[in-house]
Amino acid sequence: MGDPDTRACFRCSKEFEKNFFAKRQWKSENPTCRSCANDAVKFEQQHTTKVCTQCNKDREKDQFPKKQWKRDHPICRLCFELTKVSDEDNRACHECKRVLPRSEYNFHQWGRGDEALCHNCRAVFDKRFMETINSDRDLKLVDQPDGITLCEHGNERCEVCMVDFTLPNMFARKRAELGRDLTDKENEEVSQTFFKGINMPSNKKICIMDGMACCPRSGRKMSCPCNEVTYCSRSSFNSAARFLHAPL
């Protein structure tokens, strides 16, 4: 039995009497002496960023959960919330079979366990899929004198052409109405009106075609088979399903 009036510091492993510990530390299962605690505080004050083990990005302290910040290999708040946290340092890619560190996977893929795809394999798939979209479609647009843009079927929103020009056309109509360019405030008002009316369900995932003309913003988003991104139309979803399982 050790001396009941002394305890070993968890950090430096030295034996100290009770007055060398803060009251809370003395009662802790793994106590830290005052000297080591002060050194830890000084270190944290000097180092306000750490590199996330998952995404490999240098992030500020407030971007980490409190317990993760104290770890030698922390995971940032975004990766911590959106992936299944594990203590594995390496994992074999489901496609190329290479054993790679977790920094070679994004947090969605790491959470898929044995089915995870590394950055390189995901990039090959994304490139092939986007090339397929661009090569399969010969989009013909019709620009009206008032600045309105329509597809070849005469629609500003068409799921056959996979386009949605609703928002840019709202800006064009407002400019035509006022006879001048819009101010920042007027641009913001038009945007708010658009997003209030589209009735799109909240979803953490982002359509892979977001911001492109071929993203129809249908409000009925389809998840791709790997459950990593979403597609705004059934036709693009089916294309993704075909090419996800094509040889990389």
**Rounded-to-integer distance, Cα 55 and Cα 111, Å:** 13
Cβ-contact 113, 102 below 8 angstroms:
no
**Rounded-to-integer distance, Cα 39 and Cα 31, Å:** 14
CA angle (160, 158, 213) in 5-degree steps: 100
What are the φ and ψ backbone dihedral angles of 214, each rounded to 5 degrees? Answer: -85, 5
> For 114-220, where are the E strands, in sequence order?
141-143, 149-151, 157-158, 163-164
Question: In degrees to the nearest 10, what's the CA dihedral of 98, 100, 105, 110?
Answer: 90
Taking only the tens of pLDDT, the chain with its 248 residues reads 456 788 998 889 889 988 888 888 888 888 889 888 888 777 666 667 888 877 778 888 888 888 888 787 788 887 776 655 566 778 899 889 999 987 788 777 877 778 888 888 888 877 776 665 554 456 677 777 778 888 877 888 776 666 778 888 888 888 888 888 888 888 888 888 877 765 544 444 555 555 554 454 544 445 444 444 555 554 444 444 444 444 43
**Rounded-to-integer distance, Cα 203 and Cα 101, Å:** 29
Cβ-contact 161, 139 below 8 angstroms:
yes
**Rounded-to-integer distance, Cα 16 and Cα 1, Å:** 16
* Residue 103, token pair as written in the block: 């920094």
Chain centroid to CA 124: how far? 19
CA angle (140, 155, 146) in 5-degree steps: 85
How high is the pLDDT of residue 156? 81
Q: Which of 180, 164, 181, 144 shows the shortest CA–CA distance to 220? A: 164
